[in-house]
Amino acid sequence: MAQATDTPPDRTALGIGLILGSVLIMAFADAVVKLVSADLTVWQVFAARSGLALPVMAALAIATGMRVRLRTPLWSFVRSTLLVLTWLAFYASLPVLSLSVAAVAVYTNPIITALLSAVLIGEPVSRRQWGGVLLGFLGVVAILKPGTDAFSWFTLLPLLAALFYSLAMVLTRSKCRDEAPFALALALHGTFLATGLIAILLLALIGLNAGTMAAYPFLLGGWAPMGVREGGLMALLAALSVAYFMGVARAYQIAAPSTVATFDYAYLVSAALWGFVFFAETPDFLTIGGMALITVAGLAVATPPANRAAIESTG
């Protein structure tokens, strides 16, 4: 007789639907950031997006009674800082790289997470996962094209973002496992807002010359005027970020993490789709091959062995 605590099959389907919808939304949001990167600074995006998202999340918390108090505020702050660095490195690459290339580079994070989990918190890494690490490395080489004229140092930025993200995920597992996902999302948006405002103030006080700001306008530019279009796009980003964070949290709550993580890779398809729609981006053959290798590698690393998955599903 089945136990009363068994997860109904339709909730697994709902979890898959939520993660697919969430990554489609997030890829769309990243395309919007790339679109506004010619007009606004990354710090404006951080401050405006989270400044608009926080009141919405606060209203949700009040209306639903969700817990927002953090059990480990120090570790939650470190986690939020790592994730801010993740998005900073990723967004900094978008004015230069195609969305699909930046996306596949940052999705090396399951490979890096497996390595860091083994080194930092002693989690075992199977031979299949080590094989995934090797495949992922080959995929990165195919995309980076080191030693050729096609190589760009900006491609290292989403890889750096993947490292920061992996550190944040290892920290989440080891130090923040008992935190409510909504409380972590609220802390993250608060950190985004504070980071954006502090950076804007520091840049205004430093007073960089026009040549320096023109070289890297997305990172070092001054505060750009925001009209109805820009304000509307920031409001859209705020709504999308709330939907994404809540959707991902809910997906991982109602379905097996190994199943959800597998469908999380739909972000790569979504990023390629929005990159084509917004910017007519078409990756070359070698880049497509690298994307395929990294996707296969990530699935090999993220999916648990069959015997362990069986144990988890019946535990």
According to the model, what pLDDT value does residue 307 have? 44
According to the model, what pLDDT value does residue 276 have? 85
Mean pLDDT of 238-263: 72
Q: What is the pLDDT of residues 283-293, one digit of tens each?
A: 777 777 777 77
According to the model, what pLDDT value does residue 236 have? 92
Q: Which residue has the higher pLDDT, 264 or 236?
A: 236
According to the model, what pLDDT value does residue 310 have? 40
Q: What is the pLDDT of residues 257-267, one digit of tens each?
A: 555 666 777 78
Q: Is the pLDDT of residue 306 over 60?
A: no
Q: What is the pLDDT of residues 155-165, one digit of tens each?
A: 789 889 989 98
Lowest mean per-residue pLDDT among 143-152, 215-224, 235-244: 143-152
Q: What is the pLDDT of residues 7-36, one digit of tens each?
A: 444 477 787 888 888 889 989 999 999 888
Residue bearing tokens 């199977």? 126
Sign of the Cα pseudo-torsion (151, 154, 160, 161, in order): negative
According to the model, what pLDDT value does residue 198 have? 95
According to the model, what pLDDT value does residue 2 have? 43
Mean pLDDT of 93-111: 80
pTM of the model: 0.77
**All structural domains of the chain with their residue ranges:** 13-314
Q: What is the pLDDT of residues 116-125, one digit of tens each?
A: 777 777 766 6
Average pLDDT of the chain, as a whole number: 79
The percentage of the chain sitting over the pLDDT mark of 90, rounded to a whole number, equals 18
3-state SS of 208-245?
CCHHHHHHCHHHHCCCCCCCHHHHHHHHHHHHHHHHHH
